[in-house]
Structures are given as structure tokens and as C-alpha cells.
Amino acid sequence: MYSELKTSTRILMGPGPSDAHPRVLKAMATPLIGHLDPEFVTIMDEVKTMVQETFITKNHLTFVVSAPGSAGMETCLVNLIEPGDEVIIGVNGVFGGRMVDIAERCGAIVHKIEVEWGTVISTDHVKKALEKCPKPKLLALVHAETSTGALQPLKEISDLVHNAGGLFMVDAVTSYCGIELKVDEWGIDAIYTGTQKCLSAPPGLSPVSFSDKAVQVLENRKTKVQSWFLDLSLVKNYWGGAKRAYHHTAPVSSVFALRESLRIVLEEGLDNRWVRHQKVHQVLKTKLETLGFQYLVEEPYRLPNLNSVFLPKGNDEALLRTKLLNDYNIEVGGGLGAFAGKIWRIGIMGESCTNNHVNMLVSALEDMKEFKY
């Protein structure tokens, strides 16, 4: 027989998921109701309003994809791209690369802006790309590149894309509810995020929002969206509209958890939450540098909530990471791609963003005899 489910009590300080608030876990254990139950319809409406509030948008087409962040990415791209469309995508890490892969599968001609991992895309890079592709259907960027810890400035680039007549699409999976993000003010036309990073809800859902301009593009498509599940012309009646029609069965328990996590964010206040991530980051940064860690990303473009750091010389990062998990119950992330085996990605996101978390990690490191500093 299989034994009863049992896991260790971990402290989650990797690239996600982050620790969930007990209130969120409790909400998830609420008895199930039907997904077309009037009470669940009300809950979906509340979640939609709270997602609008946290994206700081009035966008009508704001909803939650019943799948993780990558499905939010795919939702934006499959709905906005038709075969033969030209798009510009910034690639400075794993997730820009994933967007390129999806866009190519949609039949797009992709113009990549490739810069070194750990750096960001500048307005000059964008201007140069617009010379080669003056009329892009869209330009997509990753706001917070979790694979490197780089924070991409968005506002100035938004104007450049709009002047060229294109849509501005943003990956906000790691920035949402942790770093300043203003969808309407920054002119973002299509945005997606995830639940397991700074929102501190369980993974598996992806809040998404489309501007009216993006909705127009959707309505003027000549071809069917390649994906049935992610086709917004079908999904949108499920997440709003006069007639709530069956599309798929929403993950009821996950929506309960999402609702509670959004309530927690709004109770704290978005601004306070952004400040908290900055403050805890400063504490972590000082302590890490004292131990000899070095940041990968230059200070002005550093994510506060995802700290990519080189270990002090002479340390075996994989061994230390395993020890941290097994002996101290602390999870941190390893490097990806070119940085595999070289860096750690230390997340302080949402509920995992406290001075206590910093102290637990730093004390564990100081306590480990294998750690050389």
C-alpha cells in the first residue's frame, strides 16, 4: 500500500512556488461547489475584479487561465498572432526564449532582440529592431526575468511599440504583486502572470488581461485560434459576459485559494507590498555580500524579489543546495542555461519575503561546515 501523503515543512526561497499563507491553504480546503453554482459565479466575478485591481487596469477582458503561467504566455500569443505575422520578442533569459518558441509555433515571423543574459533590453535595441520590422503585430518583453534576476524597464518601450502601431505584451509572472506594475498607465496591451510567485498562492493558474486594442485584434482575426482551450473568443463567456456558458470545469479549489491570496494582497496594499520586497531585499543583499556572494545583475536592473548571485569561490553550489534542503529545509534555486552550476537564485516573494526568511537562510549558511566564506 502507498503511505499517507506526507512532505517536509519547507521554507521556499527559490524561483517559485513561494510559501503560501495559512489562510490561502485553508481556503483551498473549502468544500467543493459546482463551477456553475451561482455562489461560484460570484467568486469568479470577485476574483476578476481583484485581478483588475492588482494589475491596476480597467481592462474588460481580464480573467484567469486554468493553467500555470506558461499557459498565460501561450494564451496571449495564440490569440494575438496569425500565421505570417511579424513580431518582436526580447530574449535575455529562459522566458523570452519560451515566448519565441510559442510565437514560431503560431506561424509568426519572429524578430529577436537578443542581449546577454543578466542584462536588459534598451530603447536603442528596440529602435534598431523597429528599423528591421517597422510594423510589428506585437512586441513582447519579460518584466522580471526569473532565470537571471533582471528587471526590464517597460514604460519608454511601450511608447515606441505603440508609435509603430503594434501591441505591447508583457510577461509579469514574477513581478506581479511584488514590484511596481501598472498595466493601464504603462500602456500594456496583453499581460499574463502566475499565482505561485509574489502572489503566494499555489501554482496552476494564470491571471491575464487584454486591452481594448488587443481585443480588437482578436475580433478581427481571419483564422481560428490554433488552440481550442486557450481561444479567448470561447473562454471570455466563461469569465464574464451576460451568459455564463460551460467551457471547461474551472479548478474550483485553486480559485478559492487565488481569491484569498488576492484578498491578502489588497489588505496589505500594493504599494506597501512593493516597498516590503525592496526593504527585505536590502537586508538580504547586505548579508549575502558580507558572506562573499556577488550579484549577477547590475544594481539599477536588479530584481528585489529574485536574487541571482555567484557563490563565494571554492563552494560546490549543488552540494550546498542539497544540504540546505535536506538539513535545513530551505529551498533556493540553482542557475539555468549558461548559469547552471554557477549561480543561486534566491527568491523572496510574497509570504517568503520577510526578515525571518533572510535570517533563516543566512544562519543556515553560517552553520554549514561545507560553506566556505
Ligand X SMILES: *Cc1c(COP(=O)(O)O)cnc(C)c1O
Question: What is d(CA 76, CA 339) in angstroms, rounded to the nearest whole number?
Answer: 28
- Among 20, 54, 69, 118, contact with ligand X (rule: CB under 6 A): 69
* Least distance from ligand X to the Cβ atom of residue 336, Å: 11
Q: Nearest-CA neighbor of 121 among 145, 85, 147?
A: 145
Q: Is 203 in the site for ligand X (CB under 6 A)?
A: yes
Q: Given the complex with ligand X, which of 104 and 316 has the nearer CB atom?
A: 104
Question: What is d(CA 149, CA 296) in angstroms, rounded to the nearest whole number?
Answer: 8
Diameter of the chain by CA atoms? 64
Q: Is 205 in the site for ligand X (CB under 6 A)?
A: no
Contact letters for ligand X, residues 135-174 (x by CB under 6 A): -------x-x-x------------------------x-xx
Q: Nearest-CA neighbor of 20 among 181, 184, 258, 205?
A: 258
- Among 95, 168, 186, 371, contact with ligand X (rule: CB under 6 A): 95
Q: Given the complex with ligand X, which of 144 and 255 has the nearer CB atom?
A: 144
Q: Is 181 in the site for ligand X (CB under 6 A)?
A: no
Which residues on adjacent β-strands are paired with residue 110? Answer: 87
DSSP states of 16-77 as a string?
Answer: SPPPPPHHHHHHHTSPP--TTSHHHHHHHHHHHHHHHHHHT---SEEEEESS-HHHHHHHHH
23 has binding-site annotation: no
Residue 293 CB contacts under 8 Å (≥ 6 apart), including other chains: 309, 310, 311, 312, 344
* Least distance from ligand X to the Cβ atom of residue 123, Å: 21
Q: Report CA torsion sign: 251, 52, 347, 264.
A: negative
Q: Report CA torsion sign: 27, 31, 34, 38.
A: negative
Q: Is 194 in the site for ligand X (CB under 6 A)?
A: yes
Q: Given the complex with ligand X, which of 74 and 260 has the nearer CB atom?
A: 74
Q: Is 334 in the site for ligand X (CB under 6 A)?
A: no
Give residues 16-55 in contact with ligand X (rule: CB under 6 A). 16
Q: Is 178 in the site for ligand X (CB under 6 A)?
A: no
Q: Given the complex with ligand X, which of 175 and 211 has the nearer CB atom?
A: 175
The residue assigned the cell 509572472 is 173
Could you give the 3-state DSSP secondary structure of residue 363?
helix
Size of the site for ligand X (CB under 6 A): 14
* Least distance from ligand X to the Cβ atom of residue 285, Å: 20
Question: What is d(CA 86, CA 107) in angstroms, rounded to the nearest whole number?
Answer: 9
Q: Specify the DSSP class assigned to residue 148.
A: T
Question: What is d(CA 119, CA 173) in angstroms, rounded to the nearest whole number?
Answer: 18
Q: Given the complex with ligand X, which of 166 and 202 has the nearer CB atom?
A: 202
Q: In the numeric block, which cell numbers belong to residue 347?
A: 527568491
Pair type for strands 109-114 and 86-91: parallel
Task: Tell me which stretch binds ligand X (CB under 6 A): 67-75, 237-245, 318-326, 333-341.
Answer: 67-75
* Least distance from ligand X to the Cβ atom of residue 68, Å: 3
Q: Is 70 in the site for ligand X (CB under 6 A)?
A: yes
Q: Is 14 in the site for ligand X (CB under 6 A)?
A: no
* Least distance from ligand X to the Cβ atom of residue 312, Å: 26
Question: What is d(CA 357, CA 371) in angstroms, rounded to the nearest whole number?
Answer: 19
Q: Given the complex with ligand X, which of 70 and 308 has the nearer CB atom?
A: 70
Q: In the numeric block, which cell numbers belong to residue 85?
A: 505575422
Q: Given the complex with ligand X, which of 151 and 364 has the nearer CB atom?
A: 151
In this structure, the number of other CB atoms found within 10 A of the CB of residue 84 comes to: 10
Sheet holding 206-210, edge to edge: 61-65, 206-210, 190-192, 167-171, 138-142, 86-91, 109-114
* Least distance from ligand X to the Cβ atom of residue 3, Å: 28
* Least distance from ligand X to the Cβ atom of residue 244, Å: 26
Q: Is 305 in the site for ligand X (CB under 6 A)?
A: no
Question: What is d(CA 326, CA 115) in angstroms, rounded to the nearest whole number?
Answer: 37
Task: Tell me which stretch binds ligand X (CB under 6 A): 19-27, 53-61, 64-72, 240-248.
Answer: 64-72
**Closest residue to ligand X: CB criterion:** 69
Give residues 265-304 in contact with ligand X (rule: CB under 6 A). none
Binding-site annotation: residue ranges for substrate: 345
Residues that bind ligand X (CB under 6 A): 16, 68-70, 73, 95, 142, 144, 146, 171, 173-174, 194, 203
